[in-house]
């Protein structure tokens, strides 16, 4: 699989697999299949995997650790701290917490659950407005010196926080939402990342499934589906946003590519330091997404997408979630 570099030397596969939906909140009946999928991904050449202590909470890291233990020397595992979680009960109290002692406890827990001596990439999951960024970055810097962490990352941080963190401990990667239907990072975040030499790991590169073309205004989502709370998935918004999917499908027809592959290929074409992070629980979807690496969009394709200037309708998060973004 193609490789890309994040920050000052973290080399990873050009696509990353996120395990958020595996073993989350309960023991999934297909747990064995999820472990098999992670191992198959390694066989296919992927070496960059993403989890977090909050996924479960805690249970996701356990499963990722079990799955990747036999191939530890072949992979890089990213995990995250920053939520207020009781590590004895697994109860998530809802708020953020990046106090230095909390970070250290989070790292010790992640090391044990992942069955590793060192965390390859450690992200602050969300900025904590009550803790100076210099204290957060300084704590991670100390953990790097101690050999417990290799690289430092941020998630959904704003430009000022990125600069403050990077001044204390170089940031290898920012993980934030970026895709054909979430292009806000282009205004301020991407220029800052380019200036400082920081990579971008965009999550939800397929618009939480919408950009695959398999969801339209008439699709009935399960009542428990988190997308029901997202304004962008309201029926009228989905109807309006269908224009974007139609354009992606049109571009794909020229390349024999699916809408998902075009969406990932578009991200890969933006910058050489972008490594899209997708999630799937099906091997056929994994293979489809990795197939994006064989799709090379032409400059004409990219210009056509840009010229269409499609304005996506609906916010990407409910208001309470947006308040934690870009701090």
Task: Please list the active-site residues.
Answer: 55
* CA nearest to 256, candidates 295, 217, 218, 293: 295
Which helix (H) or strand (E) segment is 173 a member of?
strand 171-177
Query: How far, in Å, CA of 110 to CA of 229, rounded?
Result: 30
Residues 280/289, Cβ–Cβ less than 8 Å: yes
45 - beta bridge partners?
Answer: none
What are the helix (H) ranges across the chain? Answer: 31-43, 59-68, 100-114, 133-145, 159-168, 189-196, 235-255, 259-270, 283-290, 299-308, 319-322
| Beta bridge partner(s), residue 154 | 124, 174
Helix (H, G, I), strand (E, B) or coil at 119: strand
């Amino acid at each position: 699989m193609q490789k890309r570099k994040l920050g000052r030397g973290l080399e990873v596969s050009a696509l990353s697999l996120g395990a958020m939906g595996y073993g989350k909140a309960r023991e999934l009946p297909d747990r064995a299949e999820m472990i098999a999928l992670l191992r198959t991904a390694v066989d296919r050449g992927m070496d960059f995997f993403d989890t977090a202590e909050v996924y479960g909470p805690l249970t996701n890291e356990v499963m990722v650790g079990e799955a990747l233990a036999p191939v530890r020397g072949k992979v890089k595992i990213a995990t995250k701290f920053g939520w207020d979680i009781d590590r004895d009960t697994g109860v998530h109290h809802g708020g953020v917490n990046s106090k230095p002692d909390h970070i250290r406890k989070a790292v010790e827990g992640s090391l044990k659950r992942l069955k590793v001596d060192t965390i390859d990439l450690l992200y602050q999951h969300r900025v904590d407005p009550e803790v100076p960024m210099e204290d957060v970055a300084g704590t991670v810097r100390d953990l790097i010196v101690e050999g417990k962490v290799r690289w430092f990352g941020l998630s959904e941080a704003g430009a000022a926080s990125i600069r403050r963190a990077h001044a204390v401990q170089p940031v290898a990667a920012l993980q934030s939402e970026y895709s054909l239907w979430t292009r806000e990072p282009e205004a301020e975040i991407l220029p800052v990342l380019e200036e400082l030499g920081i990579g971008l790991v965009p999550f939800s590169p397929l618009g939480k499934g919408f950009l695959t073309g398999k969801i339209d205004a008439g699709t009935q989502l399960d009542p428990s589906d988190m997308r029901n709370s997202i304004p962008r998935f309201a029926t009228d918004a989905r109807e309006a946003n269908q224009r974007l999917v139609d354009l992606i499908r049109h571009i794909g027809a020229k390349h024999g590519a699916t809408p998902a592959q075009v969406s990932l290929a578009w991200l890969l074409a933006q910058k050489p330091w972008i490594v899209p992070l997708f999630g799937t629980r099906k091997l056929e979807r994994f293979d489809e997404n990795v197939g994006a690496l064989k799709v090379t969009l032409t400059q004409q394709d990219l210009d056509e997408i840009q010229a269409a200037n499609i304005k996506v309708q609906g916010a990407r998060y409910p208001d309470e979630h947006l308040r934690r973004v870009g701090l």
